[in-house]
Amino acid sequence: MRVFIKIGALPLLRALLQSQQAGLLLVILLLGAVLAAFAGSHVDPATGRLTNNFLNPNTLIQVATDASFFAIMAVGATMVIISGGIDLSVGSVFALSGVMMAMALRSAGPLSAAGALGLGLAVCLGLGLACGLANGLMVVGLRVHPFIVTLGTMWVLRGIAFVASKAESILVPDALTGVVKASLGLGQALSPLPMVTMLVVAGVGSLFLGNTVLGRQVFATGGNLEASRFAGLRLGRVLVTVYALSGLAAGVAAFLGSAYYGSASCADATGYELYVIASAVVGGASLNGGKGSAGSAMLGAVLITLIRQSIRSLHLDQNYEWIIIGCAIIAAVVMDQAGSRLAARRLAQRPPEETPAPVGAAG
C-alpha cells in the first residue's frame, strides 16, 4: 500500500512542479528569502523582541494588501487576454467608480455602516460592470481592435472622473473605512480583508475559467478565433462577458481601495494598467490569447509587489522600479514564446500514430 501511494503520487507531484503556479511560488519564496536575509531587523516596541523587517505579520499582510488592489483587476484582465483581447481602461474604471461612490456617499448624508457598505458596493460594482459592458459592446459592435477601444475609454472615463470630482479628493465615510480595515480578529494593526477578497476573486476566477462551459469557450476563442466561429460558438457573447467581468473586477478593486485609503480622486490607479497587464503576463498569460489563469495572475501581482517592496526595503533607487518591471514583462513574453515554439517543434517531430483498419475491412 505504501509503495502504491508513492507511485501514485509521483505523477501528481511532477504535474505540480511543472505548473506555472509552482514556478511563480518558487520565485516568490526565493525573493522573500532574500528580503528576509537583507532587510534587517528592529525591536518591536510592544513585545521588546527583535523582529525581522520583512518576515513579520504586519509587513506580509501589508504586501498582500498592496498587491490585492491590482491583483483583483488582473484576474479580470487575464480573462480578456485569454480571449485574445486587451483592456487598458481598468485603472480609469477604478478611478471613476471610486469617485462616483465617494460622491454618492457624500450626497446620501450620514449612513450606518451597513447602509454605506450597501450603497458603496452598488455604485462601484454597478459602474464597473457598466463600463466593462460598454467596452465589450464597442469591441464587438464596432469591430475595432480592443487596444484602440480601451485606450479611448481609458481617457474618456478618467476625464469624466476629473470633471465630476473637479479634481478634488473626496473623503469616504469612516464607517465604510472601518468595515474594509477590520482586523478580523488578527490584531488591531492588521487589515486582512483586501487580501481575503483577492483570494476569493482569484478562486472564483479559476472556477469560472476551468469549470464552466463559458470559461472553456474563452480559451477556445483566444486559442483559435476562426475555428471557434466555425464551431458555432457565440463569440460576441464570450467577448462581451470577459470585458464585463474585467470592469466588474475593477469596480471591486475600486471599492476596496477607496474605502481602505479613506478617499477617492480622479488620479487614483494612474499607471495601474502597467501593473495589471504585467501581473497577467508574468503569471503566464499569452498576449496571443488562449493561455493564462486567474491564480497565476494573482501570483504575478504578488511577485511584482515583492519587487517593489524589495526596492524599498533594500534602500535602492525607486527609479529602478519601472526598469525592473519592464524587464520582467519582456522576459515573461520571451519565455512564453520560446515555450510555445518548443512545444510546436516537439509536436512536429512526433511520429504519426498508425491509423487502425476500419471494422470489417479485409485483412
HEC sequence for the chain: CHHHHHHHHHHHHHHHHHCHHHHHHHHHHHHHHHHHHHCCEEECCCCCCEEECCCCHHHHHHHHHHHHHHHHHHHHHHHHHHCCCCCCCHHHHHHHHHHHHHHHHHHHCCCCHHHHHHHHHHHHHHHHHHHHHHHHHHHHHHCCCHHHHHHHHHHHHHHHHHHHHCCCCEECCHHHHHHHCCCCCCCCCCCCHHHHHHHHHHHHHHHHHHHCHHHHHHHHHHHCHHHHHHCCCCHHHHHHHHHHHHHHHHHHHHHHHHHHHCEECCCCCCCHHHHHHHHHHHCCCCCCCCCCCHHHHHHHHHHHHHHHHHHHHCCCCCCHHHHHHHHHHHHHHHHHHHHHHHHHHHHHHCCCCCCCCCCCCCC
Domain extent, residue 101, equals 58-341
Length of the chain: 363
Comparing CA positions, the residue from 247, 211, 212, 218 lying closest to residue 234 is: 218
pLDDT at position 125 is: 97
pLDDT at position 361 is: 43
52 within a domain of the structure (yes/no):
no
Total of domains in the chain: 1
pLDDT at position 35 is: 86
pLDDT at position 301 is: 93
Residues of the chain scoring pLDDT < 70 = 1-20, 187-188, 336, 339-340, 343-344, 350-363
Cβ pair 25, 17 in contact under 8 A: no
C-alpha grid cell for residue 199?
A: 483570494
pLDDT at position 245 is: 97
49 within a domain of the structure (yes/no):
no
Q: Is the dihedral of CA 304, 310, 312, 313 positive or negative?
A: positive
Say how far apart CA 160 and CA 150 lie, in whole Å.
15
324 within a domain of the structure (yes/no):
yes
Residue with cell 510555445: 340
226 within a domain of the structure (yes/no):
yes
70 within a domain of the structure (yes/no):
yes
C-alpha grid cell for residue 278?
A: 504585467
48 within a domain of the structure (yes/no):
no
356 within a domain of the structure (yes/no):
no
pLDDT at position 314 is: 77
DSSP strand pairing (263-264 vs 170-171): antiparallel
pLDDT at position 352 is: 60
pLDDT at position 3 is: 46
Q: What is the CATH number of the domain that holds 171?
A: 1.10.3470
26 within a domain of the structure (yes/no):
no
